[in-house]
Chain A
């Protein structure tokens, strides 16, 4: 799924660059950032991107309904795309587990993207590391099942957003270490110096393996639109 997020960022940062076709989804992606850093907006932009690719629907899991639809990207909020995004709000860890355990019973076309926003809300304090690992494994197993249903060359992408704390204690550290084992690709959102009425952050995307890290500035304008500019390092 990292590939799709990379395409979203690359496409939104280039003027009308449309040749990139719906490439393969890429590895499962862990999106990390502090509260309010723009994770939901990026998840939603990715959902819009995949919803427009003419493949399966997008399954967007989150604890509570989005207060407002992030205006976000160059892609207008095309009703046809919005219809393909299915929001579900499992209120508890057990409900989320049941949703994932019974995903194979969901009728209709298999999703081509599975998104989970706010994983930290489901990794509660009393959730031991084994339960957290099983929940993570089920997310991957569910995406793998959807991929099998979609057929070869059409994999179901998976993106999970996790709120990180500045002062993460050792238990969070263990959980993030476990998560990184299951999510070879990671994307960090770090706040950057912002202009008046603007909220700017630096997005660092690592696809895992030997591929280089790529970075962008993402600036949210007052009305919520995202302006994305690639960060090119002098050595490149």
Chain B
């Protein structure tokens, strides 16, 4: 089985489980849109540059994304398991494909507050 056919097989499986957001998530991974931001304390947060150009905050520790789709489709309607940004984060974790940025503890606090 060639690498290309492996990719196609997994793409179908992802699409079967996560629907259309699977392909969009893979696109975000390909475009290196997922950044892991960590500080010396060991705490970390993910930022994902969405296709709209907006940056969303994801907390992988508890399944949270700041995008409107997560609030509506995942939390309110429960018709999706997750949004494309969270799926891109999980895919990047498995594929070790995150951009990595180190910041100070204080900067991480400001980033988490800024999300508010």
Binding site for B on A (CB under 8 A): 94, 97-98, 100-105, 129-131, 133-134, 137-138, 140-141, 144-145, 148-149, 174, 178, 181-182
Taking the closest CB of chain B, its distance from the CB of A136, in whole angstroms, is 8
Assuming the contacts A133-B64, A134-B64, A137-B59, asked whether A181 and B75 have C-beta atoms less than 8 A apart, the reply is: yes
Inter-chain contacts of B76 with A (CB < 8 A): 129, 174, 178
User: What DSSP secondary structure best describes chain A's contact surface?
Assistant: helix
Known pairs A103-B43, A133-B75, A145-B41; list 14 more (Cβ under 8 Å).
A97-B113, A98-B109, A100-B112, A104-B42, A104-B109, A129-B76, A131-B116, A137-B62, A137-B63, A140-B64, A141-B62, A148-B43, A149-B41, A181-B75
- Pairwise interchain contact B41-A104, C-beta atoms closer than 8 A: yes
Q: Which of B42, B68, B75 has the most CB of A within 10 A?
A: B75
Indicate if B31 sits at the interface (CB-CB under 8 A).
Answer: no
Per the bound structure, the CA–CA distance linking A182 and B75 in Å amounts to 10
Report the count of interface residues on B (CB-CB < 8 A): 22
- 21 intermolecular pairs with C-beta atoms under 8 Å apart: A98-B113, A100-B112, A101-B116, A103-B43, A104-B41, A104-B105, A105-B105, A105-B106, A137-B63, A137-B64, A138-B112, A140-B61, A140-B64, A141-B43, A141-B61, A145-B41, A145-B61, A148-B43, A149-B41, A181-B75, A182-B62
Taking the closest CB of chain A, its distance from the CB of B71, in whole angstroms, is 5
Binding site for A on B (CB under 8 A): 39, 41-43, 59, 61-64, 66, 68, 71, 75-76, 105-106, 108-109, 112-113, 115-116
- Pairwise interchain contact B116-A97, C-beta atoms closer than 8 A: yes
- Pairwise interchain contact B39-A104, C-beta atoms closer than 8 A: yes
